[in-house]
Amino acid sequence: MSDTVLKPDICVIGAGSGGLTVAAAAAQFGVSVVLIERHKMGGDCLNYGCVPSKALLAAGKHAQAMRNGASFGIANADPDVDFAAVMAHVHDVIAAIAPNDSVERFTSLGVQVIEEEARFVDERMVQAGPHKIRARRFVIATGSSPMVPPIEGLDEVEYFTNETIFSRSTLPEHLIIAGGGPIGLEMAQAHRRLGARVTVVEADKALGKDDPEMARLLIDRLKAEGIDIREHTKVARLEKRDEGQIRVHVSGAEGDAAIDGSTLLVATGRRPNLQALDLEKAGVEHDRSGVKVNDKLRSTNSRVYAIGDAAGGLQFTHVANYHAGLVIRAILFRLPAREKRHILPWVTYTDPELAHIGLTEDQARDEGKLNKVLRWPYAENDRAQAERKTTGLIKIVTGKGGRIIGVTILGAGAGEMMNMWALAIAKGLKVSDITGYVAPYPTMSEIGKRAAISYYSDKTGSPVVRGLIRFLRLFG
């Protein structure tokens, strides 16, 4: 096939969460878009990330509920897990969502989809297979891949990453996970609840990006479920054993040890997918974390934007989608659109869930912004009692005048609950805004309102307030 030169308004590289959102929005406004994808439409989130991991966690949660029926008067049962059927469920969920992200759907929206690998030829041109694309603006949305550290012996053993773990059809007998971040811990709990023995080896602190107090409570819960979590312990060497067994030599806080397992999952972080892009030819600077962008997500080449995991910031689907919205505003409407990092929440979907937004207590103290920290436990919530989901608490960090500057929730439905707090922080609300709305009873979200009310607890004993009430009583 001979080279063709396409001249769309926007060329999007990568059809994952971020790229698809840019392409769909631009096409809906009637702007010409070329979307280039080298592998699977839907990217990491649909195929190897959010969707399969949440589907696997859901299966594990179901199994766990069967084990713990007695507190509701329903006999505990040992679930009979058919792991191949569990994985069929996972792939069925992916297949149910896939049409939304498909070539057919995007073509019908008016997007020209090219299924090739893209690379820059110069500052204004991208090559994808036989196509040359000269666009007014380019959006790099190429995502990230597992960062596999150079561990001695790694090339001699079979290991899995998030890109391969969901292709298994047999339950690992003993899953050893390198890395105690969100991927490591979500996969640890899902596999543990489905019947595997699980060990997590974490070089530093598990869930090191979260509020330490809340992360600790979650880690203790996961340990109580039988997951062996070894923090401050590094995977030093890997050794192949007989009959598909692996020996993982670790060194750390408790000295050197060898752990024998059947399956190894490497979940030690991510690296941006930039290698194939020939960014030097486009004058797009980058480093190990991603494309260097300003707060408008523009790279060192003003025609080129970068979004999502490739842009080197927080790596979440909703962040990629948020970035997509910002670049659409900038490219189509030339509106000032700056990334506001403080409004970006994240959730680890273990059970209980751990959700966070804004500043942690320590960060607020270090930045001299800390006023009061408000807490309310799930155990004090009627719905949580009824559901027997009493583990956890909300922690609200307030600044000057009671402004909400950070929220962490550990507990059932923390991710859903976080929606309201993400709105509160995006809109700069104060605790008085939270005390002023009516929450339906009985809902777990009431814990947030109760925590907000506690902001005023010292006021109820105040002589001034009590004097005012006595004075007002004089008027009948």
Q: Which residues are annotated as a binding site for FAD?
A: 54, 142-144, 309
If the CB atoms of residues 282 and 374 are measured against ligand FAD, the closer one turns out to be 282
If the CB atoms of residues 102 and 289 are measured against ligand NAD, the closer one turns out to be 289
d(C-alpha 374, C-alpha 361), whole Å: 10
d(C-alpha 402, C-alpha 428), whole Å: 10
Q: Annotate each residue in 265-304 with x if it binds ligand NAD (CB under 6 A) or - if it does not, as one string.
A: --xxxx----------------------------------
d(C-alpha 236, C-alpha 177), whole Å: 13
Q: Could you say which of 89, 91, 168, 318 contacts ligand FAD (CB under 6 A)?
A: 318
Q: What is the CA radius of gyration of the chain?
A: 25
CB 332 within 8 A of CB 361: no
d(C-alpha 279, C-alpha 272), whole Å: 13
Q: Could you say which of 56, 198, 203, 248 contacts ligand NAD (CB under 6 A)?
A: 203
If the CB atoms of residues 134 and 249 are measured against ligand NAD, the closer one turns out to be 249
Residue carrying structure tokens 């439905």:
413
Q: Closest-CB residue for ligand NAD?
A: 181
d(C-alpha 461, C-alpha 343), whole Å: 35
- Per CB under 6 A, contacts with ligand FAD among 151-210 are 162, 183
* 309 near ligand FAD (CB under 6 A): yes
* 117 near ligand FAD (CB under 6 A): yes
* 53 near ligand FAD (CB under 6 A): yes
Work out the number of other CB atoms within 10 angstroms of the CB of residue 104: 10
CB of 312 to ligand NAD, least distance (A): 12
Q: In what order do the strands lie in the sheet with 353-358?
A: 346-348, 353-358, 404-411, 393-398, 373-377
* 322 near ligand NAD (CB under 6 A): no
If the CB atoms of residues 162 and 199 are measured against ligand FAD, the closer one turns out to be 162
Among candidate residues 70, 49, 355, 79, the one with its CA nearest the CA of residue 192: 79
Residue 356 main-chain phi, psi, to 5 deg: -145, 150
Among candidate residues 317, 334, 414, the one with its CA nearest the CA of residue 44: 317
If the CB atoms of residues 268 and 398 are measured against ligand NAD, the closer one turns out to be 268
Which residues are near ligand NAD by CB under 6 A? 149, 178-184, 186, 201-204, 208, 234-235, 267-270, 315-316, 346-349
Which residues are near ligand FAD by CB under 6 A? 13-19, 36-40, 43-45, 49-50, 53-54, 117-118, 141-143, 162, 183, 273, 276-277, 308-310, 315-318, 320, 349
